[in-house]
């Protein structure tokens, strides 16, 4: 019999590290994966110091086409099987899509969309066997077009749509699927994306720990969508009520003023 585990991608910092801690605190055996082995080890050390079993580490770049198969093979060899999958790995950049480096555009789509899709579907059979769950980290950005971050917004719109469809497809088999859609979060994501100070209102910002807690609770409750923070929930609803042209103008003005 294989041991059920929670596999968390992008677990070296930010929301991913907070989710790793959250799952470990609730008694889950955790496997962490990301590119940066030293940071993964630091997260594993912190979890172990808190009195939880030390997480297994798989340092790999999920943008590599063979990464998912390698992770699956390593887990199988260790007698581990995914019960919960958290797809947190992803990144974005500020800037007009036409002016962005072509390789960066495709790398964003590859990680945010292709890798997430492949991981979700590769491990879906084991999620079914263990009556587990899938937590895909999307964004409030997934509910609206994003001039100035067009590719990122589009990838997160895919994650929201894909997760909602899987929620419906898999619920009859006992699998919970949740799209976690945070607004701005105090992580290194914003620095890497090139966001200047004040790009988002402070009132919308949440801590990684709060986002992780709400995401975990939402998954365990079987919620389809989790949007941490009332202001972010309002922002996600805007596209339903604001004319599309006006919404595009508002979003474009924000990017020009950044």
The set of catalytic residues is: 152
Distance from C-alpha of 191 to C-alpha of 94, rounded to nearest angstrom: 10
SS3 242: coil
Cα 93 to Cα 91: distance, rounded to the nearest angstrom: 7
What tokens were used for 62? 């999920």
Count CA atoms closer than 13 A to 156's CA, side-chain side: 28
The whole-angstrom separation of Cα 145 and Cα 162 is: 17
CA distances from 73 to 78, 190, 204, 214, 253 (A): 9, 33, 40, 31, 47
Distance CA 186, CA 17 (A): 13
Buried b (16+ CB within 10 A) or exposed e, 85-109: bbbbbbbbbbbebeebeeeebeebb
Q: How many residues can be counted in the chain?
A: 258
């Amino acid at each position: 019999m294989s041991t059920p585990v929670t596999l968390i991608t992008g677990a070296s910092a930010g929301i991913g590290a907070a989710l790793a801690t959250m799952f470990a605190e609730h008694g889950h055996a955790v496997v962490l994966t990301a590119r940066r082995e030293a940071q993964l080890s630091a997260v594993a050390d912190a979890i172990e110091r808190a009195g939880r079993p030390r997480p297994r580490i798989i340092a790999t770049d999920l943008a590599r086409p063979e990464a998912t198969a390698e992770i699956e093979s390593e887990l199988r060899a260790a007698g581990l099987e995914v019960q919960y999958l958290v797809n947190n790995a992803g990144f974005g950049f500020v800037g007009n899509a036409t002016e962005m480096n072509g390789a960066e555009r495709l790398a964003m789509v590859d990680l945010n969309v292709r890798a997430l899709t492949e991981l979700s579907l590769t491990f879906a059979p084991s999620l079914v066997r263990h009556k587990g769950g899938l937590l895909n980290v999307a964004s409030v950005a997934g509910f609206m077009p994003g001039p100035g971050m067009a590719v990122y917004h589009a990838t997160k719109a895919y994650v929201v749509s894909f997760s909602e469809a899987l929620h419906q497809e898999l619920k009859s088999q006992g699998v919970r699927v949740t799209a976690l859609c945070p607004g701005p979060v105090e992580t290194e994501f914003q620095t890497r994306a090139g966001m200047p100070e004040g790009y988002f209102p402070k009132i919308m910002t949440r801590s990684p720990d709060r986002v992780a807690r709400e995401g975990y609770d939402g998954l365990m409750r079987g919620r389809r969508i989790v949007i941490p923070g009332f202001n972010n929930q309002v922002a996600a609803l805007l596209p339903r009520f604001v004319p599309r042209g006006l919404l595009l103008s508002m979003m474009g003005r924000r990017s020009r003023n950044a």
